[in-house]
Amino acid sequence: MRAGFCGQKTGLEESGSKPPRSTSPATAPANPRATHWPSWVIIRWAFSKETSTIPSATLKAIPLGGLGEFGMNMMAFEYGDHLIVVDCGVLFPDTELPGVDVVIPDITYLRENHSRLRAILLTHGHEDHIGALPYLLDEVDAPVYGTPFTLALARSRLEEHGMADDVELREMQPQAPFDVGPFRVEFIHLTHSIIDSGALAITTPAGTVIHTGDFKLDPTPTDQRISDLHTLADYGRRGVLALFSDSTNVERPGITPSERAVRERLSEVLSESKGRVLISCFSTSLHRMQIVANLAKEHGRRLCFIGRSMFKNSEIAQQMGRLHLDEGLIVAPQDVRRLPAREVALVVAGSQGEPMSAMARIAVDQHRWVGVAPGDDVVLSARIIPGNEKAIFRMMDHFYRRGAKVHYDDGSHPLVHVSGHASAEELRLMLALVRPKYFIPIHGEYRQLSRHAELARELAGVPEEVFLLESGDVLELSAEGARRAGRVPVGRVCIDVGTLDEVGDVILSERRRISADGIVIPILAIQKFSGELLQPPEIVSRGFVPLEQAEDLVERARQVIREALEKSNLEEISDWGVVKDKIRAALRKFFDRELGKRPMVLPVILEV
């Protein structure tokens, strides 16, 4: 593997041979203590914690990512000679990481301890929890446990890397505990913005820990599968050693609105719009997609899914019976223009303004099948992920220029988007139900972790102690106590999508300036308002080929850049993110065809 780090470098080295893959079937006996209660809200008794004699043993909890940042969620638990990992996510880079597609956690510690790794457990199917699976499983072998939809998404990611047949995927279900070495694991269903999401109760001889994953406590989910608070309370009654809980929305007071809260506003838009309605949400938001599908039928509109991820995930969900679409409702993208605008609703990928996403291409009138016109309505039914503000607002400007009306999460009521994460009161309820001896906030930037720790300390006697950890810290837990016990190597590894290879971030770090095929930097001077190329592009390279000895190659590369610009309209040229992506893709293809090399291409645009 080619090593290249953005952030802390930890000495990533080649691992030895892989251990044989596990082939033993998962065991999932029925839950003998399943209990039925009249309502999720009727949990108002005084908890009496039953304590039992716990053997003198130590459990280690080691966050390898996801603490102090949004993304790269990965937590390791160790007991004796056994190791399990909860979640395996990516982080999507911002403008400070040019040329980088995704960022994954440094897996040095797991590589060095691969012989002790027993399983990877997934709490749900969002990319910041499963996206790094192909990169981890290229280095180590372990069965992957998840709920049906989560495994379907994981399988799709593995197929993209040609690894699906080499990885053992094991299904887990609520109220069906199973054993992984000394770990007794139970999946506990909790609501979130994606289906089949939940917490993990992990019981060891040292005690039980609960990892919430991402969650909110939606009392009226669209699939009618409410959070299993009774099982959480049952664990709390019997005694929980530690709780690791999502901190994303700790700064929001009160309770996060139900997913159904968006229905009113979306219904208004679909009813009142005189043209097409384009609704963009995360491609894993099946709750939102189902609401839109139901409303489209109600208001006499045909439904179309636009974007590769949106189409693929909706197809997976339909095959699993988790997305219900009436016969005749769906229309193919190529047939959209044949229908009257008033009879069409589209669900489009690209809510974060990604330069080459379907939504961004529609905004600059460069999509093959779909465009917008005056009278159309555009709904951004997703939160703005920090760091994506400029790209999203730039995309919105393009829609406004085309005469469309844009609806987004501007604080108005009724809502076009609700969060999938628990707000402060729900976080307090989680602590009150579980009543852990120790509490560790996870998933969020440091201020969120700190605020969550403060919230926990405000509760009388629950927990006894709070640990504010960062990625890499080792926490030792036992019946006798808990303590910090040093650190393990952690960091960020920058990845070029399409390979399993890491690529160095040249601008942030001079440690490794050249990846296997080198780096090419085209420098363009473009007139701001006309989009005119003021002079031939300059091309600089390192570790690629000596350009001074390849004048013909350089001139043809310049022509490739000119052609990429000529095929772009004025709105695209005014959007440097789109221009850079088009130049990057065109030059990579050109160099691959001419030399069999795929250098990292980092376009630089000088606005004159």
Both tokens of 309, joined, read 């991820």
In degrees rounded to 5, what are phi and psi of residue 388?
-100, 5
Measured CA to CA in angstroms, residue 245 lies from 99, 106, 174, 426, 453 at distances of 33, 22, 19, 11, 10
Find out whether 286 and 449 touch, Cβ atoms under 8 Å. Answer: no
Find out whether 226 and 218 touch, Cβ atoms under 8 Å. Answer: yes
Find out whether 360 and 352 touch, Cβ atoms under 8 Å. Answer: no
Provide the phi-psi class of 116: left if phi over 0, else alpha when psi is between -120 and 50, else beta: alpha
Find out whether 427 and 214 touch, Cβ atoms under 8 Å. Answer: no
Q: From CA 555, how far away is CA 257, in angstroms rounded?
A: 58
Tell me which residue of 351, 338, 341 sits closest to 379, measured CA to CA. Answer: 351
Both tokens of 143, joined, read 């069965």
Q: From CA 94, how far away is CA 559, in angstroms rounded?
A: 29
CA angle 436, 439, 445 (to 5 degrees): 150
Q: From CA 151, how far away is CA 124, in angstroms rounded?
A: 9
Q: From CA 185, how far away is CA 179, in angstroms rounded?
A: 6
Amino acid identity of residue 192, one-letter, is H
Is 299 catalytic? The answer is no
Find out whether 603 and 524 touch, Cβ atoms under 8 Å. Answer: yes
Q: From CA 371, how far away is CA 380, in angstroms rounded?
A: 16
Return all residues near 447 (Cβ < 8 A) that are at least 6 apart: 251
Element (H, E) at 563: helix 551-566
Choosing from 189, 417, 421, 452, the catalytic residue is 421
Q: Long-range CB contacts (< 8 A, 24+ apart) of 332-341?
A: 332/304, 333/304, 333/306, 333/368, 333/369, 333/370, 334/369, 336/276, 336/304, 336/369, 336/370, 337/369, 337/370, 339/302, 341/274, 341/275, 341/276, 341/373, 341/375, 341/376
DSSP 53: P
* DSSP code string of 524-558: EEE-TTT--B-SPPEEEEESS--GGG-HHHHHHHH
Q: From CA 421, how far away is CA 247, in angstroms rounded?
A: 8
- CA 253 to the chain's CA centroid: 24
- Three-state secondary structure call for residue 301: coil
Is 126 catalytic? The answer is no
Both tokens of 369, joined, read 């099948």
Both tokens of 25, joined, read 């079937």
Choosing from 87, 218, 246, 473, the catalytic residue is 246
Residue found by looking up tokens 């993304």 in the block: 71
Residue 364: other Cβ atoms inside 10 A? 24
Both tokens of 222, joined, read 């669209």
CA angle 202, 205, 207 (to 5 degrees): 55
Q: From CA 377, how far away is CA 107, in angstroms rounded?
A: 45
| Positions marked catalytic | 246, 421
